[in-house]
Amino acid sequence: MDGDSAAVRRAWISAATLPICTPLPAVIDRLKQRDTVISEPNARRPNRWHGRVEQAQPQACAWPGCGEAGEFRAPRSNKVPGDVGGWQFLCLEHVRAFNAGYNYFDGMSVDEIHAAQSPMAGWVQDMVRGKPAFTIGDPHELFSGKGPARPKPPPGKWAAPGDAKALGALGLDRNASPADIRRAYRALVRRYHPDSNGGDRSHEGKLQAVVNAFTHLKSAAGYKMESNKT
């Protein structure tokens, strides 16, 4: 019986369940069996750590020299997602070490690093001949520029292009102060970081969006203006 894949329960047997005419030795034998273990093969072991990948036969940890079971999944390369570049399986200790040493810019050229650190990274819109590329199914010509004019944002400290979208990524509005932005940024980084989720990297896209939004707002005129007042 596989104790790891089957839950265990006890079948309690008492003298009251036996016929009255049962001989005393038989009663004693039955009472000795009261702690009989019965297997439930359909039950699953509780998953203590968020991010553990259930496997019928866990692979060995891919960390050199480690003999533990590799129950946590991590991408093989920093350059591409695991769905493209493949995955490796690590034990809990080594998936934490992998996350701690993860370098988003590993393998990038100087130009690629500069582009990734740009305040507008992740905010570029696909354009064709100066017009948005996605115009399929546009009966009202909203994407072609011929439809109703978009209302201009109200004047204020967060009126620059991209400010409203960056604030929305942090769950804030135009009334946010630099202190509000820093507070929201720290809270969201803690929420989406793999170390806060047992090594689970499924929130990596949200984490990068939060970093991009904070980088954009830090360089915005409204952020600098409010910071100078304090």
Tell me: the pLDDT tens digits for 53-96?
777 888 899 999 998 998 888 888 766 677 777 888 889 998 88
**pLDDT value, residue 224:** 72
The per-residue pLDDT for 11 is 42
Q: What is the mean pLDDT of the chain?
A: 71
Closest Cα partner for 214 from 177, 179, 182, 174?
182
Q: What is the structure's pLDDT at 36?
A: 47
Q: Are 216 and 120 in contact (CB under 8 A)?
A: yes
Q: Amino acid identity of 29?
A: D
Q: Which position has the higher pLDDT, 90 or 198? A: 90
Domain boundaries, the chain: 7-40, 59-100, 110-134+159-229
Maximum pairwise Cα distance, the chain: 96
Name which residue leads in pLDDT, 50 or 8.
50
| pLDDT tens digits along 17-40 | 555 565 666 656 666 655 444 444
Q: What is the pLDDT of residues 142-179, one digit of tens each?
A: 655 555 566 655 555 777 788 888 888 889 888 888 88
Asked if residue 141 has pLDDT above 80, the reply is no
| Alpha-carbon gap, residue 217 to 187, rounded angstroms | 16
Q: Which residues contact 211 (CB under 8 A, 6 or more apart)?
A: 189
87 beta partners? 75
Closest CA to 30 of 19, 40, 39: 19
Give the single-character DSSP code of 178. H
Distance of CA 120 to the CA centre of its chain: 23
pLDDT at 61: 93
Helix (H) or strand (E) holding 50: none
Which stretches of the chain are assigned E, i.e. beta strand? 7-10, 37-40, 59-60, 69-70, 72-75, 87-90, 127-128, 131-132
Residue 92 near residue 84 (C-beta atoms within 8 A): no
Residue 86: what pLDDT? Answer: 84
What is the fold of 110-134+159-229? Helix Hairpins (1.10.287)
Q: In whole angstroms, give the CA distance from residue 39 to residue 24.
A: 29
Name the nearest CA neighbour of 102 among 94, 110, 112.
94
* Cα separation, 68 vs 216, whole angstroms: 43
